[in-house]
Structure 1
Amino acid sequence: MEWVVVVSVLVMTILSLLRVNVIIAIIAASITAGVMAGLSISESIEMLVGGVGGGANTALSYILLGAFAVAISYTGITSILVNFLIKKLTGKKTMMLLVIAGVASLSQNLIPVHIAFIPILIPPLLKLFDEMKLDRRGVASALTFGLTAPYIMIPAGFGLIFQGIIQENMENSGVSISLDQVTLSMLLPGLGMIAGLLVAIFITYRKDHVAPAAIEGSTIKEEQEQKEVKFNRKHLLTLIAIVAALAVQLITDNLIIGALTGIVLMFLFVAVPFNQGDKIVTDGITMMGTIAFVMLVAAGYGNILTETGAVDALVEVSSGFLGGNKALIAFILLLVGLVITMGIGSSFGTIPIIAALYVPICLAAGFSPIATATLIGTAGALGDAGSPASDSTLGPTSGLNADGRHHHIWDTCVPTFLHYNIPLFLFGWIGALLF
Structure 2
Amino acid sequence: MFAILAAIAIMFGLSLARVPVVFALVIGAVSGGLLAGLGLQGTLDAFNNGLGGGAKIALAYGILGAFALALARSGLPDLLAYKLIRTLTGSSNTKVQNRVKYLIYFTVALAAVFSQNLIPVHIAFIPVLIPPLLSVFNHLNLDRRAVVCLLTFGLVATYMFVPVGFGAIFLNDILAHNINTFGAPYGFAIQNEDIPAAMFIPVFGMFIGLLFALFVSYRKPRHYQDVQIERTQSISSELNANTTAPTLQAPQIAKFTLWMAVFAIIATLAVQLYSDSMILAGLVGVAILSCAGIFKWKEADDVIITGMRMMALIGFIMIAAQGFASVIEATNQVPALVEASVEWIGNSKALAAFLMLLIGLLITLGIGSSFSTVPILAIIYVPLCLQFGFSPAATIAIIGTAAALGDAGSPASDSTLGPTSGLNMDGQHDHMKDSVVPTFIHFNIPLIIFGWIAAMVL
Q: Which bracket does the TM-score occupy, shorter chain normalised?
A: 0.7 to 0.9
Which structure 2 residue ranges, 5 or more long, are not aligned?
A: 90-96, 238-247
Q: Deviation per CA, 1:347-380, whole angstroms, max 9, x where unpaired?
A: 4555465445334433443434433333233223
Letter in 1 for 2:137: M
Match of 2:123 in 1: 118
Q: Which residue does 2:76 correspond to in 1?
A: 77
1:296, distance to aligned residue in structure 2 (A): 0.7
The yes-or-no answer on 1:147 pairing with 2:155 is yes
1:151 and 1:158 in contact (8 A); partners too: yes
> In the superposition, relative to structure 1, how do residues 237 and 344 fare at CA in structure 2: closer, same or farther (>3 Å)?
same
Q: Distance in 2 between matches of 1:355 and 1:153?
A: 18
Residue 277 of structure 1: CA displacement?
3.5
**Distance in 2 between the 1:246 and 1:181 partners?**
21
| Alignment correspondent of 2:274 | 251
Letter paired with 2:320: G
Q: d(CA) in 1 for partners of 2:145 and 2:218? A: 7
After TM superposition, list the pairs within 5 Å mapping 1:6-405 onto structure 2.
7-12=9-14, 14-15=16-17, 20=18, 24=20, 27-28=23-24, 30-31=26-27, 34-35=30-31, 38=34, 50=48, 55-90=54-89, 92-109=100-117, 111=118, 113-114=119-120, 116=121, 118-120=123-125, 122-133=127-138, 134-154=142-162, 159=167, 163-164=171-172, 169=179, 172=184, 173-175=186-188, 182-206=195-219, 207-208=221-222, 210=224, 218-221=230-233, 223-224=235-236, 226-229=248-251, 232-277=255-300, 280-281=303-304, 283-284=306-307, 289=310, 291-297=311-317, 299-301=319-321, 303-304=323-324, 306-308=326-328, 312=334, 317-343=340-366, 346-347=369-370, 350-351=373-374, 354-387=377-410, 390=413, 392-393=415-416, 396=419
Q: Distance in 1 between matches of 2:53 and 2:272?
A: 20
Distance 2:457 2:304 in 1: 50
Distance 2:386 2:75 in 1: 55
- Contact 1:48/1:301, CA 8 A, preserved across alignment: no
Pair 303,58 (structure 1): closer, same or farther in 2 beyond 3 Å: same
Shift of the alpha carbon at 1:333? 2.1
Deviates further, 164-173 or 145-154: 164-173
Offset, 1:96: 1.8
Q: Once the 2 structures are TM-superposed, how far is the Cα of residue 248 of structure 1 from its aligned partner?
A: 3.0
How much has 1:398 moved relative to structure 2? 6.2
- Distance (whole Å) between structure 1 residues aligned to residue 76 and residue 369 of structure 2: 32
Query: Once the 2 structures are TM-superposed, how far is the Cα of residue 194 of structure 1 from its aligned partner?
Result: 0.4
Q: TM-score, normalised by structure 1?
A: 0.77
After superposition, the Cα gap between the structure-2 partners of 1:43 and 1:244, relative to the gap in structure 1 and judged at 3 Å, is: same
AA paired with 1:87?
Answer: R
**Counterpart residue identity of residue 232, structure 2:** I
Question: Relative to 1, partners in 2 of residues 1:410 and 1:93: Cα closer, same or farther, differing over 3 Å?
Answer: same
Alpha carbons of structure 1 residues 294 and 155: separation in structure 2 relative to 1, 3 Å: closer
CA distance in 2, matches of 1:196, 1:371: 22
The SS at the match of 1:132 is: helix
Output the amino acid matched with 2:312. A
Paired residues of 2:108 and 2:150 also in contact (CA < 8 A): yes
Secondary structure of 1:38's counterpart equals helix
**Residue type of the alignment partner of 1:106:** F
Between the aligned partners of 1:344 and 1:44, the Cα distance in structure 2 is: 25
Counterpart CA distance in 2 for 1:222 and 1:229 is: 7
Instruction: Indicate the percent of aligned positions where both proteins have the same amino acid.
Output: 38
Q: What root-mean-square deviation, in Å, do the aligned CA atoms of Structure 1 and Structure 2 show? A: 4.2
CA contact 1:371–1:433 (8 Å) conserved in 2:
yes
Q: Which runs of 5+ in 1 are unaligned?
A: none
CA distance in 2, matches of 1:65, 1:163: 17
Change (3 A) 1:179 1:203: same
Offset from partner CA, 1:31-90 (integer Å, 9 cap, x none): 3564465379x9899689946665444444444433433333333222321122112234
Q: Note if contact 1:27-1:297 (Cα within 8 Å) is conserved in structure 2.
A: no
3-state secondary structure, aligned to 2:133: helix
User: 3-state DSSP class of the match of 1:235?
Assistant: helix
C-alpha distance in 1 between matches for 2:358 and 2:312: 28
When residues 157 and 127 of structure 1 are mapped into structure 2, their CA distance, relative to the original with a 3 A threshold, is closer
Deviation at 1:393, TM superposition (A): 4.6
Q: Shift of the alpha carbon at 1:302? A: 5.1
Deviates further, 276-285 or 327-336? 276-285
Does the 8 Å CA contact 1:31/1:44 hold for their aligned counterparts?
Answer: no
The 1:88/1:46 distance shift into structure 2, 3 A limit, reads farther
Larger radius of gyration: 2
What is the total number of aligned residue pairs between the two structures? 421
1:417 equivalent in structure 2: 440
